[in-house]
Every structure is written in structure tokens, then in C-alpha cells.
Amino acid sequence: MDLFEYQGKQFFGSFDIPVSRGRAVTTVDDAVAAAEEIGQYPVVVKAQVQVGGRGKAGGIKLADNADEVRTYASDIIGMDIKGHTVHVVWIEVASDIAEEYYASFTLDRSAKKHLGMLSAQGGVEIETVAETDPDAIAKIWIDPVDGLSESVAREWVEAAKLNPDATDGAVDILLKLYRAYTEGDADLVEINPLILKPTGEVHALDAKVTLDGNAAFRHDWADYEATQERDVREQAAHEKGLQYVGLEGSVGIIANGAGLAMSTLDVVNQVGGSASNFLDIGGGADAEVMTGALEVINNDPSVKAIFINIFGGITRGEEVANGIVEALNRVTIDSPIVIRLDGTNADEGRSILEPHLSDSLQMQPTMLDAARKVVELAG
């Protein structure tokens, strides 16, 4: 669940991370009112879209008075930035900047630890820094059991070669940012830039936050959920309770489990195809779930063939097969389907599917065989 900048700042604020005072608005008149409410010029008018490059696109402007706020808000609301339409602008008090840094936490799955990245080079994309000057990024790996201590955070700041004037403020923010990341159930928290003001204060000037949707039951995220950006396919899948991400290929993918779905995308790519989606139906593959999944994929005109890749664990093979058969009775599918069914009671499941096989419904013994066949059918 990706948050807009203003939501990220609200999220950070709940963990006492210093952020700029501001207000999110959707109309020009409200933008002017928000600036007057802040009561301090200049203010920054910032487009709220979940994509980088806002400044270069003209989506961030510094306004010295109400007339400029009105002009810039009029220009920015409705602007298209890399395919994202601006519906919300954030009006915040402008900050004096002495230096810009970068800070983030995310999960390093291979190390099974949290990864912290800190750099004295902020205000630019971290990927650019990693490519041009990788030594400028100080990294630490944090065992979730141990957490982040003040002493480790201080050593980390020194390793990143931040201005000594920023050390105490940076350490304080990093400890709070780590708490936001862990207690807030985030997949990513990023401040770029983290600024040092001429006064010596350290301050989060931007906020990028991705929350773990699986932890939603522990939080009140209704406001965040209401503003999620989804295309038509993703919205339809969301309404059916499916984990779906739209892509740009021609092979529709249905798999049970995020790991298997990701592996399926990789295998399809390996044999020369491209996926039109990531669709994880989770642990269940009954008729209702399978019907919903097939409906979502069938309504995507880019799909030329469908790959159903199921490995039965707790869900037994015959249940999966019955679910597929029933779903096909409910939905008229326009594209050929290739099925790979393995795992618990897979033989029974394949026996159930056997009488229904045809040129438009095929079954393959392995994931690789199925991937090759579905890519061939997708043309």
C-alpha cells in the first residue's frame, strides 16, 4: 500500500518525526486558504502523485504570496505527470536548507534482516547515487530481535559522513524512523531529502512510505486505502479480494501464493514470454475464488493466453480441479488456458480435469512445460 507524500508525512508525524507544516487540498480556493492558514510565506505547492520527477515536470512550485499559490495550484491540479493525474496538492511552509541527506529502511529478504541506507547525498534518486558513487551510501543490517540502538545509529551517521552539526538530530530521526518502519508495519520508509537547516535542526522534507497490506487488520488504514491508485483491472481484483498487480505482457497468470506467482512470472520470462499480471489467489482455489480470478484476467484485452499454476499444500488437488471446472462453467473465457497442477492429491485433481481438456484447455506436467506452452499459445 503506497502512500502519497502528505500521507507519509502524517504517518511520520505520528511517530514524532519532524515534518513541515502543511495541508492537503483538492481545489484552488482551498490551496489559497491553506496557505493563509499556514500564515507564513513562502509556501511550497506540491503535486501529490506516486511517481518521481515531480519537480522536473513542474509539479513543485515555491509561492511567495496568495496570487502565486492560486496560479501554481491552477496549473498543477489536473496536471499529468508520467501518466498520473494530480488530484491533490500539498501546501507546506517552505524550509531553509543547508544540506540534503537520504535515509531509508526496508527488508533485505536474502539476509533476513532489515536494511538501513543513509547517505550524505540526498535530494537525488538513490539509484543514481548507487550507480555513480556506491561508497556514498552507508548500509547497516539490523536483526529484528535486536532492533536499532542509539550507539549503532550514531556509528551509522558517522560512517555516512554527515555534517557533525547534523549528528544528534539525524540519530534522533533515524531511531524514530526505524520505529515507524517496524511498529507501523511498513515495507519501506524513505526520507529524501532529510535536511539540515541553517539553524542546526534536522527535518524530513519528503516522505515515501509503503505499508504492508497484510498488516491492515492491526491498524486503521481506511483513509490510506481510500486513496490507493489502481487501474481498472486492479480495482476489479481488489473488489474480489484478490492480490493483483497489472503488468504489460500477454500471458495472464493465476497462482496460489505470492512466491509461486513471482516464480511463474520469472519462468514465463525465461521462455520468451511476458506476463500481463501478477495474480495471487492465496491459499484457496475454490470455485468462487477461481471465477473471480478468471473474470479479472478475461476482461484484460492484452491477455492472449492464461497460465493457471497451482501447487496444492493445505489446499488439495481435487478441490482445486473442481474449482477450476466450476469456474469455467460460470465464465466464458476468450483465451486458451494452460494448467499446471502439482502437490497434495495432484493425481486426483488431474483426473478430474482430464475429461475437460481441449485445444483451449490444456494441462502440462511441469511449470516449465506449461510456461513454454502458454507462451506459444500467446503468440
- DSSP for 264-307, written as a single string: HHHHHHHTT--BSEEEE-TT---HHHHHHHHHHHHT-TT-SEEE
Provide the b/e sequence for 183-217 (b: ≥16 CB within 10 Å).
ebbbbebbbbbbbbbeeeebbbbbbbbbbeeeeee
Which cell numbers hold the place of 4?
Answer: 502519497
Long-range contacts of 224-229 (CB under 8 A, 24+ apart): 224/1, 224/3, 224/7, 225/1, 227/4, 227/7, 227/88, 228/1, 228/2, 229/2, 229/50, 229/84
What whole-number distance in Å separates Cα of residue 209 and Cα of residue 191?
9
Of the listed 6, 102, 224, 244, which one is catalytic? 102
**Element at 226 (helix H, strand E):** helix 222-226
Contact between residue 348 and residue 319 where contact means Cβ atoms under 8 Å apart: no
Torsion angles phi and psi, residue 100, rounded to 5? -120, 135
Annotated active-site residue 102? The verdict is yes
Of the listed 99, 100, 190, 318, which one is catalytic? 190
Which cell numbers hold the place of 45?
Answer: 505547492
Say how many CA atoms lie within 13 Å of 119 toward its Cβ. Answer: 23
Task: Classify residue 42 by its DSSP letter.
Answer: S
Give the three-class secondary structure for 2: strand
Annotated active-site residue 72? The verdict is no
Catalytic residue annotation: 102, 190
